[in-house]
Amino acid sequence: MDLTVIVPTFNEGPNVAELVRRTTDALPGRAIEILFVDDSTDDTPDIIRAVAAQASVPVRLLHRDRPVGGLGGAVVDGIRAAASDFCVVMDGDLQHPPEVIAELLARAEVGDADVVVASRYIAGGTSDGLANAVRTLVSRGSTLLTKAMFPRKLHNCSDPMTGFFLIDRRALDVEDLRPRGFKILLEILARKQMRVAEVPFSFAPRFAGESKASFSQGMRFLTQLTMLRFGRMSAFALVGGLGAVANLLIMWGLTAVGVQYLVAAVIASVITIVANFLALEYLVFADMREESGLMRHRFVKSFTFNGIEAIVRIPVIWLLVNEAHIQSVVAAGLTLVAAFVIRFVFHALVVYAPKKARNAQIAALPEPLEDELAA
């Protein structure tokens, strides 16, 4: 096997046949397989099975009943299940022209690169297929920001946001990856220094269906960037800091419309505690939720911690002022810093502690569709 083409799909039924046809035609004489890693909620898996039965190359389906890590998680599961070490990752909507795969493969076979990126942003490439000016601006801006944050690792990569690339699996520490949402190439390149080569391509309009990109994917990207660069603790701090500002803004708004200040403080606290917990769940600890039991148990632990922290902090301030003779505001500040560190440790090690062994979580085996095939 020369190459596995990994295609993550979420409700892409109408694109499957065309994608398999063009990919097959683009790589004559090559031993390839196409592996769909599918999280669809519609009839896409049936369409993939039907297309596979007619295809002249092996087409496999890995349908995930528990889709962990979104698009990025699907790609990582695909890399694990691939039959060859060379893996091309390509979107399932034909925005990534399959004809470019031949160039990616030829470039990889030169033998001096671990990753060959299909780039929109080098000479010969275009991003015309991006839906509108806003997406173009967001793509350009986030590319610059990301490159600025990883100047060395991304030095040779003009398009770390692309979802179209070839990777040599042998160069990758798959277990180190923490896929969150769309930006799997960034995850791969930021973890470890890779030898990167590039091939230009033109990002095409979608063949059929609509984009799954969203505002929440954007938030996930920013969290991913913060965590890759500064660690989980800084993302935790950012969320906590924004929560404190939100708390004050809500309280200010409520008192401005005449709510009594203590009532306003309680309402503001309840809203920020819940919002803070949701941000921890879906952003900061999103990759650890799956293995750490029930959400309501985590909420109770987190909530109880906040309560105990508030109660314990007061006598500690008293001790610091009366026994250690520290100025009261400084004492309060010290307890806040200590509380922040303890809160982070508690959440990382207790609230989001894995309930089951990591290796108990083996990805479902792909369906052996090759059996049914001619080639």
Residues in the site for ligand GDD, rule: CB under 6 A? Answer: 8-10, 12, 37-39, 67, 70-71, 74, 91-93, 95, 139, 161-163, 182, 211-213
Nearer Cβ to Mn ion (71/194):
71
One residue of 12, 93, 114, 187 binding Mn ion per CB under 5 A: 93
| 218 vs 179: CA distance, rounded Å | 14
Helices (H) and strands (E) in the chain, counts: 12, 7
Nearer Cβ to ligand GDD (169/212):
212
Nearer Cβ to Mn ion (207/344):
207
Closest approach, Cβ 41 to Mn ion, in A, equals: 18
Closest approach, Cβ 16 to ligand GDD, in A, equals: 10
Nearer Cβ to ligand GDD (26/186):
186
List C-alpha distances in Å: 131 to 201, 203, 210, 211, 329: 17, 10, 10, 9, 52
Nearer Cβ to ligand GDD (143/335):
143
Q: Which partner, ligand GDD, Mn ion, none, binds residue 9 by CB below 5 to 8 Å per kind? A: ligand GDD
Closest approach, Cβ 239 to Mn ion, in A, equals: 29
| 118 vs 158: CA distance, rounded Å | 9
Residue span binding Mn ion (CB under 5 A) among the ranges 23-31, 90-98, 148-156, 310-318: 90-98
Q: Which partner, Mn ion, ligand GDD, none, binds residue 213 by CB below 5 to 8 Å per kind? A: ligand GDD
Nearer Cβ to ligand GDD (68/320):
68
Secondary structure element (H or E) that encloses residue 4, with its range: strand 3-9
By CB under 5 A, residue 9 contacts Mn ion: no
Residue span binding Mn ion (CB under 5 A) among the ranges 73-81, 87-95, 177-185, 284-292: 87-95
Q: Which partner, Mn ion, ligand GDD, none, binds residue 36 by CB below 5 to 8 Å per kind? A: none
Q: Which partner, ligand GDD, Mn ion, none, binds residue 160 by CB below 5 to 8 Å per kind? A: none
- Whether 61 contacts 30, CB under 8 Å: no
Nearer Cβ to Mn ion (208/345):
208
> Please, what's the b/e burial string for 216-254 (b: 16 or more CB within 10 A of its CB; e: otherwise)?
ebeebbebbbbbbeeebeebbbbbbeebeeebeebbeeb
Residues 6 or more apart whose CB falls under 8 angstroms from that of 213 comprise 135, 182
Residue span binding Mn ion (CB under 5 A) among the ranges 45-53, 89-97, 267-275, 285-293: 89-97
How far out from the chain centre does Cα 308 lie?
Answer: 33
Closest approach, Cβ 63 to Mn ion, in A, equals: 20
CA angle, corner 126, sides to 122 and 127, nearest 5?
A: 120
The interaxial angle of helices 70-81 and 184-191, nearest 10 deg, is 70
Q: Which partner, Mn ion, ligand GDD, none, binds residue 154 by CB below 5 to 8 Å per kind? A: none
| 18 vs 285: CA distance, rounded Å | 38
Residue facing ligand GDD at closest CB distance: 163
Closest approach, Cβ 14 to Mn ion, in A, equals: 13
Contacts of Mn ion in 14-73 (CB under 5 A): none
List C-alpha distances in Å: 353 to 84, 178, 249, 274, 343: 34, 16, 33, 20, 14
> Please, what's the b/e burial string for 84-110 (b: 16 or more CB within 10 A of its CB; e: otherwise)?
bbbbbbbbbbbbbbbebbebbbebbee
Nearer Cβ to Mn ion (42/175):
42
Residues in the site for Mn ion, rule: CB under 5 A?
91, 93, 95
